[in-house]
Amino acid sequence: MSSIPVGILGATGMVGQQFIALLANHPWFTVEWLGASQRSEGKAFKDAAAWRLPSHLPDAVATKVVETAAPGHAPKLVFSGLDSSVAGEIEGAFAQAGHIIVSNSRNYRMEPDVPLLIPEVNADHLALLEAQGAERGWKGRIVTNPNCATVVIAMALAPLRQFGLQTAMVTTLQAISGAGYPGVPSWDILGNIIPQIGGEEEKVESESNKILGSLSRSKARVELHPVKVSATTTRVPVQNGHTASMSVGLHEKPPAEAVIDAWRSFTGRPQDLGLPSAPPRPIVYLTDVNRPQPLLDANRDGGMVVTIGRLRPCPLFDYKFVALGHNTIRGAAGAAILNAELMHREGLL
């Protein structure tokens, strides 16, 4: 199979860097184009951005010249790690110009005609792309992945829909890498908790309904799932891995074994299709009493797995548990790459 060229919007930011790292040895995609703000334009990537990841910056990317974030030279498939302050306009321009934008930004996530994808959960939502093209007159398309905390929560909830999922109370403990760079000042977080993340709770409380929803008969909209989510989102001094303490209410309370089995047996299109970034099992349930833990579990299966533990009855709802996912991989760049892999195999690129 010959390689598919891809571009990266917002290449110098931390999501952009994570895209570069994850695509370094990708079997299908090759980074051919880098777009960033004017400040970086015309510079070799290694001069435009300080590389802040432990993995090696590939030489081929290091020497590539960064272009301005405008359509023109970019290949058809473009990943976007743009800041939301500019993503709306730029991604729209690229879609109009015929590009397939696989975006990690929040701007288009809740648009009715834009898929908000977790490929294991709602691969069929890609059908919205037809309506998207028809309504907007774009030659290209935009596909999005959820907020980094929402991914963990929605993946943990997806297999519970069969039990009549009604409510989910969530408190997150989110890693500092979720805020990008420079992001959270060490003055604020070293040995400390910040009990609030601006705008995060609203995303967590609304995105899950779309992700878990069903495609309407017309295939032009998503019927929102009725689960009511209440979130408190906090920042903790952890490098990578968002933890969620969750309690769920179900229409009928199954035995605990059935819940665990629902998680462990959960798979989807990525597993069926054997997508390169797909973990063998999207959800891993851990039986040790003190798991999952960010330091030990966030990187499992390349950071693409959601680990869950501590399932036990809740005195108020039905079950309590703790879920964990890698926020910059499954919660950001890895999520978008999996979306693109799915689209490629579904013939949508």
Nearer to a copy of itself, 214 or 232 (CB): 232
SS3 state at 229: strand
Q: Where are the beta strands (DSSP E) in 58-140?
A: 67-68, 77-80, 100-103
Burial letters 88-109, b for 16+ CB under 10 A, else e? eebbbebbeeebbbbbbbbbbb
Please give the structure tokens belonging to residue 262. Answer: 């629902």
Task: Count how many Cα atoms sit within 13 Å of the Cα of residue 211 in the half-sphere of its side chain.
Answer: 28
Long-range residue pairs from 53-56, CB within 8 A, at least 24 positions apart, any chain: 53/17, 53/18, 53/21, 55/21, 55/24, 56/24
Q: Under the criterion CB under 8 A, does residue 63 sit at the interface with a copy of itself?
A: no
Q: Count CB-CB contacts under 10 A for residue 249.
A: 20
Cβ atoms of residues 93 and 188 within 8 Å: no
Site string for a copy of itself, 90-129 (x = CB under 8 A): ----------------------------------------
Nearer to a copy of itself, 14 or 117 (CB): 14
Smallest distance, Å, CB 330 to a copy of itself? 16
Nearer to a copy of itself, 84 or 196 (CB): 196
Q: Which residues are catalytic?
A: 148, 242
Q: Under the criterion CB under 8 A, does residue 329 sit at the interface with a copy of itself?
A: no
Q: Under the criterion CB under 8 A, does residue 188 sit at the interface with a copy of itself?
A: yes
Please pick, from the candidates 27, 134, 135, 190, the single residue that binds a copy of itself as defined by CB under 8 A. 190
The amino acid occupying position 116 is L
Smallest distance, Å, CB 336 to a copy of itself? 21
Q: How far apart are CA 55 and CA 324, in angstroms?
A: 22
Going by C-beta distance under 8 Å and a sequence separation of 6 or more, which residues neighbour residue 51?
17, 57
| Cα of 255 vs its chain's centroid, Å | 30
Nearer to a copy of itself, 66 or 168 (CB): 168
Nearer to a copy of itself, 22 or 143 (CB): 22
Q: Under the criterion CB under 8 A, does residue 18 sit at the interface with a copy of itself?
A: no
Smallest distance, Å, CB 161 to a copy of itself? 18
Stretch that binds a copy of itself, among 75-83, 151-159, 186-194, 336-344 (CB under 8 A): 186-194
Q: Phi/psi at 54 (nearest 5 deg)?
A: -65, -30
Longest CA–CA span in the chain (Å) reads 60
Stretch that binds a copy of itself, among 59-67, 132-140, 207-215, 311-319 (CB under 8 A): 311-319
For a copy of itself, how many residues bind (rule: CB under 8 A)? 61
Element (H, E) at 187: helix 186-189
Smallest distance, Å, CB 81 to a copy of itself? 15
Query: Which residues within the stretch 203-242 sit at the binding site for a copy of itself (CB under 8 A)?
Result: 205, 228-230, 232, 234, 236-239, 241
Q: How far apart are CA 181 and CA 117, in angstroms?
A: 25
Q: Under the criterion CB under 8 A, does residue 318 sit at the interface with a copy of itself?
A: no
Nearer to a copy of itself, 54 or 255 (CB): 54
Nearer to a copy of itself, 68 or 293 (CB): 293
Q: Under the criterion CB under 8 A, does residue 243 sit at the interface with a copy of itself?
A: yes
Query: Which residues within the stretch 148-167 sit at the binding site for a copy of itself (CB under 8 A)?
Result: 167
Q: How far apart are CA 13 and CA 104, in angstroms?
A: 12
Angular region, 4: left φ>0, alpha ψ -120 to 50, beta rest = beta
Footprint of a copy of itself (CB under 8 A): 14, 52-54, 56, 167, 169, 171, 173, 176-177, 181-196, 198, 205, 228-230, 232, 234, 236-239, 241, 243, 245, 247, 289-297, 299-300, 309-310, 314-317, 320, 322
